[in-house]
Amino acid sequence: MTSEKHPLLEKFTEQIQHCTRCGFCQAHCPVFGATGRPALNARGKMLLLKEVLAGKIELNQELVDSLFQCTTCASCATNCPSGVDVPNIIKAARQEMVGLGTCHPAFTGMNQVLDDYDNIYAEDEPEDFDRERGGKAEVVYFIGCVGQYREEDATEAALDLLDHLEVDYTLIDEVCCSGVLEDVGFSIKPALAEKNIERILATGAKTLVTGCPYCYRTFNGKEIYAPLREAGLEILHFSQFLARQNLGVSTDLKVTYHDPCDLGRHCGIYEEPRKTIKALALNFVEMPSNHANALCCGAGGGVRGAYAKNSLAMARKRLAEVEEVGADILLTECNSCVHNLANAKLRAQKFQVMTTAQFIMELLED
């Protein structure tokens, strides 16, 4: 059935055939959950690609709203009885489409922005957080675009906490890791990667701590960032770094935790964030979906930018679980999740949404 027209996609021909169309992914796909539209579910996407490979339909603009509307949360793959690697198939399909000149304008725009700017928001003036940049230190704290330009309070709290813990750290003149471009059909920008690598290594740090789970994935997994790993740098997400600290605060409030997809399903980091939270919140409660089954906040894969309404609907589904367990505080370890969840929160929902660092800083200040 291969048409030899789509080399990137054809690598996955057997995988796509393995989809038995059972539709079980509908129970887990956040996009389906928000829209009820099976064409947007993993099965719907696999069917489109099956027909593309069979030469029945073209990989063109008509498929964009399905193939580019995926948060890459990987809950379909986690729960697929046939073991279909949906996120990587979708990634390949998007790259194939971009190669053919077809893409969602939001992603084309994102790629262009990163040709001209150092960050995905096309911002000129980064917040400097009144901290040293590019000094020599044991630890480099890498903020990430969302923390740098959208969730500054969360970043401020993370840095205050590092100060409180007397960590020897520095910031750098960081640029976007550009890892997300691979998810939406483009490639990591070598020029950006080189700047990050050079500036991180110049600090002489032994440990690189990222505030963003996606940057963590990029530095840890992408070939272009291999020099960081080859230099012997230990790469940690902030939640892993925190799990090693003694914080000495506690709360009686009812606290729950949202697993970011990039940290949980993509990296298997479930327990370290919980270790920190459980140590300070005796009244910790899990939401109905948690760990590998956690609902996605709806922000990932560029969906927040490209399909804002559905992205917020996904976040609201997640927030409904917070209400269901009656938590006072929803903590998470991803600035992007905080951003989307906080935006989606209704006024009637009285709980607070923040990062673990923000919560710890509040407790310390009390």
Partner 1 sequence: MDQRDKEAIREIVGADHFSDELIDLVSYSYDSSDHDHRPDCAAYPADSEQISRIMQLANERGFAVVPRGAGTSLAGSAVPINGGVVLDMVRMNRILDIRIPDRQVVVQPGVVYADLQKALAPLGFCFPPDPASGKVCTLGGNVATNAGGIRGAKYGVTRDYVLALEVVLPDGRIMHTGTKCMKSASGLDLTRMFVGSEGVLGVITEITLKVNPMPTASRTALASFETLRQAGQAVTDIMHSGILPSVLEIMEENTIRVLRENYGADLPDVAALLLVETDGYTDAEAEYGMQKVVAAFDANQAKTVSQAKDRAEAEKLWAIRRAAGSVAGGLRPNNLSEDVTVPISKVPDLLEGIQKLMEGHKYPFVIFGHAGDGNLHPKIMFDGSDPEQVKEVHQIAEQMFKLTCGLGGTLTGEHGIGLAKAPYMRLEHEEMAMEMMRLIKLTLDPNNVLNPGKMALDE
Residue 275 engages partner 1 in binding (rule: CB under 8 A): no
In the complex, what is the shortest distance from the CB of residue 283 to partner 1, in angstroms, rounded to a whole number?
22
In the complex, what is the shortest distance from the CB of residue 337 to partner 1, in angstroms, rounded to a whole number?
25
Residue 83 engages partner 1 in binding (rule: CB under 8 A): yes
Residue 308 engages partner 1 in binding (rule: CB under 8 A): no
Residue 18 engages partner 1 in binding (rule: CB under 8 A): yes
Instruction: Say how many residues make up the chain.
Output: 366
Nearer to partner 1, 83 or 232 (CB): 83
**Which residue of 3, 5, 8, 37 would you call a contact of partner 1, by CB under 8 A?**
37
Report residue 202 as tokens: 């110049």
Residue 24 engages partner 1 in binding (rule: CB under 8 A): yes
DSSP for 270-321, please give it. Answer: -HHHHHHHHHHBTTB---SS-GGGPPP-S-GGGHHHH-HHHHHHHHHHHHHH
Residue 234 DSSP class: E
Give CA–CA dist 62/99, Å, rounded: 16
Which is it for strands 255-258 and 234-237: parallel, antiparallel or unpaired?
unpaired
Give CA–CA dist 334/273, Å, rounded: 11
Burial of residue 202, with CB atoms counted within 10 A of its CB: 0-12 exposed, 13-18 middle, 19 or more buried: middle
In the complex, what is the shortest distance from the CB of residue 40 to partner 1, in angstroms, rounded to a whole number?
8
Give CA–CA dist 345/157, Å, rounded: 21
In the complex, what is the shortest distance from the CB of residue 136 to partner 1, in angstroms, rounded to a whole number?
50
In the complex, what is the shortest distance from the CB of residue 213 to partner 1, in angstroms, rounded to a whole number?
27
Could you identify the residue written with the tokens 């990989």? 59
Residue 232 engages partner 1 in binding (rule: CB under 8 A): no
In the complex, what is the shortest distance from the CB of residue 22 to partner 1, in angstroms, rounded to a whole number?
5
Residue 101 engages partner 1 in binding (rule: CB under 8 A): no
Q: Tell me the backbone φ, ψ of residue 211, rounded to 5 degrees.
A: -85, -15
- CA 308 vs. chain centroid, Å, equals 16
Strand order in the sheet with 234-237: 169-170, 139-142, 207-210, 234-237
Give CA–CA dist 245/364, Å, rounded: 14
Give CA–CA dist 259/93, Å, rounded: 27
Nearer to partner 1, 14 or 124 (CB): 14
In the complex, what is the shortest distance from the CB of residue 41 to partner 1, in angstroms, rounded to a whole number?
8
Residues in 52-81 at the binding interface with partner 1, rule: CB under 8 A = 57, 62-63, 65-66, 81
Nearest alpha carbon to residue 247 among 322, 172, 157: 157
**Which residue of 7, 11, 27, 244 would you call a contact of partner 1, by CB under 8 A?**
27
Return the range that interacts with partner 1 (CB under 8 A); candidates 41-49, 232-240, 295-303, 343-351: 41-49
Residue 279 engages partner 1 in binding (rule: CB under 8 A): no
In the complex, what is the shortest distance from the CB of residue 80 to partner 1, in angstroms, rounded to a whole number?
8
Size of the site for partner 1 (CB under 8 A): 30
Residue 153 engages partner 1 in binding (rule: CB under 8 A): no
Positions touching partner 1 (CB under 8 A) are 1, 14, 17-18, 20-24, 26-27, 36-41, 43-44, 47-48, 51, 57, 62-63, 65-66, 81-83
